[in-house]
Structure 1
Amino acid sequence: MLIAMAGLPGVGKSAIADAIGERLGLAVVSVDPIESAILQAGIDGDQPTGLAAYLVAETLADAVLQSGRGVIVDAVNAVTPAREQWVRLAARRDVAVRFIAVECSDPEVHRSRLESRERDLAPLEEPTWHAVERSLDEWEDWSGESADVRRLTIDTLRPLEECVAEAVEFVRA
């Protein structure tokens, strides 16, 4: 199985992905640490490091699937091409694919989480609240092949444990 997370920075995708992975024994491949490593290697930030990180994540997720294990891809997945990347990978490996869309319906809580998190991913810079607002404006509706995939939307205003329990139930169904 391939589970692809989706949601703006700071909504709680990684916390949920990590908890699901731990509970179900699934590998978690996260795009942000990959992009950080690309930048650490000296690749200029003006280059498409985000795209490169998604492609590396796809390669890693593919290797996990080839080994017979399931994988969770932890990424923003804001646009249709990114989402369909995971649909195509699941089809190539003949495994089920699910999306878990994560949101935080209270902008003040979301902003507070974003501004207080510390992930130690230098030189990758943490997004500002202004950048997240811009990302929201650029967020694409679910369309194409990814629109047909089973998807759960979780609002992280609820306690993490409730969100994780709902996600685990969704994945197992």
Structure 2
Amino acid sequence: MLIVMAGLPGAGKSTVAERLGRTLPAPVVSVDPIEAAMWRAGVARDQPTGLAAYVVAEAVADGMLALGQDVIIDAVNAVEPARRQWRSLAERRGVPVAFIEVVCSDPRVHRQRLEHRSRDVEGFDEPSWQAVQQRQTEFEPWTEYRLVLDSIADLDSNLAEALEFLSKYGS
């Protein structure tokens, strides 16, 4: 199975992804550390490293799916082309794809989380609150069913809801 997390930076998707990864267990392929690694390797930030990071994440996930492992993708996935990429990968590998969007319904809490988080991703600058608000305006409508979790709820409740959702896909 391919599990695709989506949501704005700081909404809580990585936290849910990591807990899911430990619980299932399944590897988590996160786009941000991949992009940061490109920058550390000397790829200029004015290059399309965001897109490249999604392509690298897809290649890594493809290899894991080929081994019969479930995989969790941790990325914003704000636009339809990104979501289509994951649907296409799942189709090629003959596995189900499940989308889980994580939101934070309280903008004050979301901003506080974003401004105070430290993920230890070397070379990756956390986006500003203004950048996250701009990104929110760029989120495209969803064309497929997804589970929406609100990170204001406690993590254990969200994990239980995600596991119940995923059980319908056979994981």
Q: TM-score w.r.t. structure 1 length?
A: 0.95
Residues 95-143 of structure 1: CA distance to partner in whole angstroms, max 9, x if unpaired? 000000110000000000000100122322100000000001111111x
Aligned counterparts, 1:23-172, within 5 A: 23-142=23-142, 147-148=143-144, 150-172=145-167
Q: Which runs of 5+ in 1 are unaligned?
A: none
Residues 48-91 of structure 1: CA distance to partner in whole angstroms, max 9, x if unpaired? 01001000000000000000100000000000000110000000
Give the RMSD, CA atoms, in angstroms: 0.7
3-state SS of paired residue (1:11) = coil
Query: What is the distance in 2 between the residues matched to 1:36 and 1:168?
Result: 30
% of aligned pairs identical?
Answer: 56
Query: What is the distance in 2 between the residues matched to 1:68 and 1:41?
Result: 31
Q: Which runs of 5+ in 2 are unaligned?
A: none
Query: What is the distance in 2 between the residues matched to 1:120 and 1:3?
Result: 24
Query: What is the distance in 1 between the residues matched to 2:162 and 2:95?
Result: 18
* Alignment: residue pair count: 168
Query: What is the distance in 2 between the residues matched to 1:20 and 1:57?
Result: 18
Query: What is the distance in 2 between the residues matched to 1:64 and 1:161?
Result: 27
Moved more, 129-138 or 115-124: 115-124
